[in-house]
Structure formats: structure tokens, C-alpha cells
Structure 1
Amino acid sequence: MTDFDSFSQLVFTIAGPRATGLKAEDGAVSFMLDVSDMTTDERVQIEEKLRHACEQAGANSVRIMLTAERVTPRLIAVASGKGGVGKSTLSTNLAVAMKLAGRSVGLVDADIYGPSQPRLMGAEDNKPEADGKKLIPVIGAGGVPFLSMGQLAKPGQAIAWRGPMAGNALSQLVDAHWGQVRDIIVDMPPGTGDIQLSMVQKHKPLGAVIISTPQDLALMDATRAIGFFDTAKVPIIGLVENMAGYLCPHCGEMSNPFGAGGAEAAAAELGIPFLGRIPLDIDIRLASDAGTPPALSDGPIGRAYAEIARQVSDWIDNPKAHAA
């Protein structure tokens, strides 16, 4: 475990999502602390507790920056028209890559009926606590706070809820105690049903990232997803092509079992940005199953996710410029 991971877990255990923007390097620890709902005595007590705990854990300097500014997180939907195209894996790695780039980012698993983020984020055994009526996100891989229905249901339990119940569950996840988290990546369920309607009508994402594999069938469904967000007046940030080419580990030959370049061509035809492609690679599957997102690595796949995250971050910071 790195210094960042150990201090991140320590600080979050004491302060929860009120502590954000943590940096830890060579024994120097710094972070922001939201004191908007604290009395003076509470603030002094938690500051002392945090300083003492960090120093006991080996920090030689602890800098705590206080803020009382309430933040309303911006939601970024990651969507597809069908299942099985890698939407959840992209959501995980997008959030982790944005966090590594220094952004205050969280992750919501809105796939109520098929939640997979607890496994992907390496936190299957961690259950969220509550502060009043609001859930407190759990810290997952890369220090990203996240919430998922999979944390609230029993392992393997089928969630057989009608639309209104599922919509209420989604609201619990989105309207949680996110502290100073500025951007939330929302892993949407496939299709265009009740959950998607609840998200766009009640929570209004700032923008949407669409993911597809290169073959025509997946692209047809991705086009439907784009049409859904267009109708809901949610801007499309761009299109990602997943499973784009397979490099044989034995002979080194590149093959394209799902075709090649289909998503990029579709993006050009639809007039939306093409954000990049992720290869079909067994290392992604192995790392994801182990709860260690490939975005944490500095290899080609990690860099591919980092580049997609950079483009998404640029769009978030200036959406009007990209719409022009």
C-alpha cells in the first residue's frame, strides 16, 4: 500500500467525505476539510484528531485547509445502448484516471439491477455508513469515493424492483454525503428505461460519454443511446470505442474480432468527438476482476484511459466551448 493509500484510508475513516483533495508525498500530507456543518468545538476536535492520527502514521507535516463552501457535484453519465460493451469498466477507469490527474471525483453505480462497481473498485466487503439520512461513500481503488447498490444488497441477491423503487434507490446514491467531490461519474445501466429517465429528469447530467464496440450491432444501439440523451437535452461529450483490436500474446499479430474503426467512423458521421479506443486485452479483465483498475498503471492501457479522462475533464471545465 502506498503512502497515499494509507493516509487516504486513515483520513477518510476519521472525516469521511468531508476530507477531499488529499496529497501525500515524502511524509507531507495535505487535504481540504469541509467544516460547513460543524460547530467551532467540533472543528477543533476533528482537526486535532486528524493531525494526531496522521503524525502517528508517520507524517512529518500535516496541512489542513478549511472550507465552508457547499459543492453541488456535476454528473457525467457513462452510457451504452446495450450491455456487454465495457461501460462499467470504462466508468471505473475514467473516475480513477481523473482522480490521478488531481480532480475531486466520485463514482455512482446506477446499474441498480446489475451492480459491478464494488468488485471493480476492489471494495466488495466495504459497506457504506450513513450520516443522518444520507449515505457516506466508500473509498475504492485509487482513492475514489463511490456508492453502488451492490454495497447495500446481499452478495448474489437479485434486485427485483419496479421502476419507482429503483428510482428512489438511485436518488439515495446520487444525493449522498459527497463532501467536496466536484465531479461524479455515473455508471448507467444499459438501454433507455426507467432508471435512465429518472437520472436525466431528476438529476440532469452535465454530459454523457457513450461507449460502443466496433461492430455494427453495438453501434446501432449506441446511436439509440445518443438519441435518448439528445432528446433529454444532455450534451454528448464523445464516443469511446472498446475492444478495439486484439494483440495476440503468442504471435504478436493484431486481429479485429469485432471489426475496426466503426465507432470512430460513427462519431464522425454523427458529428460528435471521438475520445479514443481501448483494446481487447486480457490484462484489463484480470486487473478488473482483481479490483485494481488498469488506469492505475503507467502502461499503454493506463495511458489510453488517462487520455480519455483528459478530454472528458477538458469538456467538463468548458462545455460551452466544445458545443460551439
Structure 2
Amino acid sequence: MRIAIDAMGGDHAPAAQVEGALLAAAEWSDTTVVLVGDSARIEPLLQGRKPANVEVRHASEIIEAEDEPVKAVRRKKDASMVIAGRMVKDREVDAMISAGNTGALMTTGLLVVGRIKGIERPALAPMLPSLDGEGVLALDLGANMDATPEQLVQYAIMGSIYRSKVHGLKEPRVGLLNVGTEAMKGNELTKAAYPLLEQAPVRFVGNIESRDILKKPCDVIVCDGFAGNIMLKSLEGAASVIFSVLKTEFTRTWYTKLAAAVVKKGIGQFRKKMDYNEHGAAPLLGVDGLVLKSHGSSNALAIKNAVRQARIAVSNELVSSIRVEISNGSE
């Protein structure tokens, strides 16, 4: 198995990408990790500790965070992200991972890798945290701001297949993000999508309110990218504020510091459940190859976990399973 990592994308590139690749290479000797990027910056970080299953593919350009996605992908042909996407397209690697410019990665997926036939729009599908630590797969959370009812059905099918193939769930529960649980609640999009999801080849459990997500009322939640991204940012913001307040309160006095020592283990476990580094990366479902988006601030652990996700998805033939299901549904 071969997995490409965009070594120049992300806040801590290329150091985090190199360290993550080394961790992955050490754990999975049957996987070759290809670091795509500026070899002059990557090779010194590997000096004296480069295993046989780590390779470097030179790329002379970098897509920056502030670059306009479509222009960057079209003009920077030798960018690390674009080369990694081309490697997926040409089947040189089985998957690619990037913590770089999200819009540019979406564009790479569409213009370089290409869509699965029958898929109208690919969807970004990160894992949202849940109190049991297993998480909820959510799509779309930003690849497309708008969606049609039919596209939400495709999201549901792809998400269900992902949770089955990658996480081993036999009948993943699929929910529709809405402002209420009643079938006729919501806007025109959700009202039209509800009956279609009832007829779709998924285990649809109805409307889900965002306030219940952390309790994991479903295994897959579908929505348009606008509503989904607002939900994601709200959860991230709430988690940040909670941990900030806890830190302030537990360091206020000698008594609260003592209390903090007592509950430190429990708080640490809760924080781990909420940490995106533990989930690794979000797949771009619907493109004709495995493309994974890591958080921009990913550390080495997140990169390693992204490789783990990619390995499982490749081993369980995720992309081909989606391709077959969508093809059967369009006949």
C-alpha cells in the first residue's frame, strides 16, 4: 500500500508531516509513505532516520492558505497538493492526505482526481466528537455551501458506506440535521429530503437537532455545507471556551488546584474525546480516489492517524464500494 502526504500543507508543515510519516512507517511496515514537497526542506528532517518505506517526491511549488483555490490548482501545476492528487489519479498511490488549503484540496479532488460517475457533488465528511468517544460522521461540512435533496441522499449513502467499511458498523444510523425532530420541520431543503431519505438504501432515523449531536443520536448526520460548517464551528468554539473556563477556574485558588488534581484524569479523557488529532482526517467522499483532509493545525499524531484511516479505507475498498452503490442506484 502506498499513501501520499502533502508535506507542505498545514500550519506545522513540513515538520509535523515528516514526524507523522515516520510514526506511520514504524507502525505499518507494509505501507510506503510518500512525502510530497520541497525535498530541500524535507530531507534534512529525515537525515539519519529515513526507513525504507518512506519516500520523498519533490515538488517545487506550494499552495498557500491565502491562495484562491481554483487559480492555485490550475496555475501551480508543480504544487505538492496537485502532484499528490495526480498520483492518486494515476494510481501511483492508493490515497493522499493534506492539511493544506481546504478549498484547494476540494478543487484538486474535482479537477485532478475527478468525481465518481453519478456523484453530483463530493462531500467533506469529518468526524464530530461524541460523549462515548466514537463520534458522528457529518457531511457535508464545507465542500459545498448549498445542496439539493438528491445530493443529501447521496451524502447519506456515501456516509453510511464509510462508517460500515472504515468503522465496522453493520447498519449505521443516518440522521438529517434539522431545527426539530418532526418530519415536516425545517426549510424547503430538509422537507424535500426527508421522504427521499426514507426511501434510500440507508437506515434513516429521522431529523436530528444539533444540540443532541454530542449524545450520538445517529452514526451519520447529513446536511448542506452552510449549516454543517456553522454546526462544526459552533462545536469547536464551545469546546474551546469550556476548556478555557475550566483552566481558569481550576487554577484560581489552592483549593481549586487540589480539586483539579482529583479530576485531572477524567478531564484529560474528555479532552481526548474532543481532540481532532485523535480522529486524524476527513475524507472527501465522492471523488474517484481516496483523498483525506487533515486539520490545518494537525500535529504528528493527527498525520499518523490519518494514515491509519487511509489504510483501513483502502483495505476495505471504500471508493469502489461507493462507486458500485451509486452506479446501482442510477440504473
TM-score (ref. length: structure 2): 0.28
Q: Which has the higher contact order (CA 8 A, sep 6+)?
A: 2
Q: As a proportion of its length, which structure holds more helix?
A: 2
Structure having the higher strand fraction is 1
